[in-house]
Amino acid sequence: MLTFQQLASVTHGKVLQFVQALPIIHLLTDSRKLSQPAGTVFFAIRGKYNDGHKYIAALYGQGVRQFIVEKEQDETGRTYSECYPDANLLLVTDCLGALQQLAAWHRAQFSIPVIGITGSNGKTIVKEWLAQLLSPDELVVKSPRSYNSQLGVPLSVWQLNSNHTLAIFEAGISLPGEMEKLQPIIQPTIGIFTNIGTAHDEGFTSRQQKVQEKLKLFTKVDVLIYCTDHELLHHEVQAQPIKTFTWSRQHKADVTVTATTTAGHKTIVVYTYKGEKQRLAIPFTDEASVENALHCLAALLYRNVPFAEIQDRLDRLHPVAMRLEMKEAINGCYLIDDTYNNDLAGLAIALDLLANQPQRVRHTIILSDLLESGLPEEALYGQVAALIKNHGVEKVIGIGPTISHHKTKFSDAAVFYSSTADFLAQFKTDDFRNELILVKGARVFEFERIVHAFQQKVHGTVLEVNLDALVHNLNYYRSKLAPDTKLMVMVKAFAYGSGSFEVANLLQFHRVDYLAVAYADEGVMLRENGITLPVMVMNPSPDSFAKLRQHNLEPEIYSLELLEQYLKDLPSDTLRHRIHLKLDTGMHRLGFTSEDFDALFPLLQQHPQIQVISTFTHLAGADEALHNDFSLMQIQNFKSMAAEVEVRLGYKVIKHALNSAGIVRFPEHQLDMVRLGIGLYGVEATGSEQEALKPVSTLKTTVSQVKSIVKGETVGYSRKGIADSDKIIATIAIGYADGYDRRFSNGAGMVIINGKRCPIIGNVCMDMCMVDVTGLDVKAGDEAIVFGSKLTLTEMASRIGTIPYELLTNVSSRVKRIFFSE
Ligand SMILES: *Cc1c(COP(=O)(O)O)cnc(C)c1O
User: How far is the centre of ligand 1, averaged over its atoms, from the C-alpha of 677 (Å)?
Assistant: 5
- Give me the pLDDT at residue 286, please: 83
Catalytic residue positions? 492, 717
Tell me the C-alpha to C-alpha distance, in Å, between residue 344 and each of 226, 350, 614. 31, 10, 47
The Cα 302–Cα 290 span in angstroms is: 18
Identical fold for domains 110-315 and 466-692, yes or no, is no
pLDDT digits (tens, 9 = 90+) for 432-461: 988 899 999 887 888 988 988 888 655 589
* Closest ligand 1 atom, residue 662 Cα: 9
pLDDT of residue 34: 86
User: Quick check: CB of 677 below 6 Å from ligand 1?
Assistant: yes
Predicted local distance difference test score (pLDDT) of residue 804? 96
| 8 A C-beta contact, residue 730 and residue 712 | no
Task: Give the pLDDT score at 703.
Answer: 95
- Cα separation, 436 vs 16, in Å, equals 43
Residue range 110-315 forms a domain whose CATH class is alpha beta
Alpha-carbon torsion angle 452, 455, 458, 460, nearest 10: -60
Residue nearest to atom 12 of ligand 1 (CA): 618
Instruction: Summarize pLDDT for 147-160 with one digit per residue, the tens.
Output: 999 999 999 999 99
Share of the chain above pLDDT 90, in %: 78
Q: Give the position, in ligand 1's atom list, of the atom nearest the Cα of 616.
A: 13
Note the pTM of the prediction, 2 decimals.
Answer: 0.75
Q: Which burial class, exposed, middle or buried, applies to 626 when counting CB atoms under 10 A from its CB (0-12, 13-18, 19+)?
A: exposed
- The answer to whether the CB of 505 is under 6 A from ligand 1 is no
Give 567 Cα–ligand 1 centroid separation in angstroms. Answer: 27
Tell me how far the alpha carbon of residue 680 lies from the centroid of ligand 1, in angstroms: 11
Could you give the CA distance from residue 166 to residue 113 in angstroms, rounded to a whole number? 5
Task: Write the DSSP assignment of 113-164 as a string of letters.
Answer: -EEEEESSS-HHHHHHHHHHHHTTT--EEE-STT--STTHHHHHHTT--TT-
- Strand ranges for 647-766 from DSSP E: 654-656, 673-676, 697-709, 714-715, 721-722, 727-732, 750-753, 756-761
| Rounded Cα distance, 259 and 74, in Å | 65
**Substitution site in 490, 514, 670 for ligand 1 pocket (most atoms within 8 Å of beta carbon):** 490
Q: What is the residue with the minimal CA distance to atom 13 of ligand 1?
A: 618
The number of the ligand 1 atom at minimal distance from the alpha carbon of 582 is 13
- DSSP label of 19: -
678 lines ligand 1 (CB under 6 A): yes
Average pLDDT over residues 647-661: 97
What does the radius of gyration of the chain's CA atoms come to, in whole angstroms? 29
Cα(531) to ligand 1 centroid in Å equals 20
CA distances (Å), origin 269, targets 230, 273, 547: 19, 12, 67
Residue 294: CB within 6 Å of ligand 1?
A: no
Is residue 362 exposed (0-12), middle (13-18) or buried (19+ Cβ within 10 Å)?
middle
Q: What is the CATH number of domain 466-692?
A: 3.20.20.10
Tell me if 675 CB under 6 Å of ligand 1.
yes
Average pLDDT along the chain: 93
CA of 147 to the centre of ligand 1 (A): 35
pLDDT, tens digit, 9 for 90 and up, residues 100-129: 999 999 999 999 999 999 999 899 999 999
Residue 466, pLDDT > 90, answer yes
The CATH number of the structural domain formed by 344-456 is 3.90.190.20
**Fold topology of 4-94:** 3.40.1390
Task: Write down the domain spans for the chain.
Answer: 4-94, 110-315, 344-456, 466-692, 697-821
pLDDT in the model for residue 360: 57
Q: Give distance in angstroms: CA of 505 to centre of ligand 1.
A: 19
Domain 697-821 has CATH 3.40.47.10: no
Q: What is the helix (H) or strand (E) element at residue 783, kind and residue range?
A: strand 783-787
Residue 821 pairs in a beta bridge with: 324
Task: Tell me which residue of 99, 114, 107, 105 sits closest to 161, measured CA to CA.
Answer: 107
